Amino acid sequence: MTDPIADMLTRIRNAYAVGHKVTAMPFSGLKASVAQILVESGYLVAAKKIKSGAHFQLEITLKYVNTQPAISHISRISMPGRRLYVKANHLPRTLSGYGTAIISTSQGVMSVKDARKCCLGGELICQVW
Nearest to 99 by CA among 111, 87, 89: 111
pLDDT tens for each residue of 75-121: 999 999 999 999 999 999 999 989 999 999 999 999 999 999 999 99
Q: Model confidence over 13-70: pLDDT tens digits?
A: 999 999 999 999 999 999 999 999 999 999 999 999 999 999 999 999 999 999 999 9
Q: Classify 4-128 by CATH class.
A: alpha beta
**Global pTM value:** 0.94
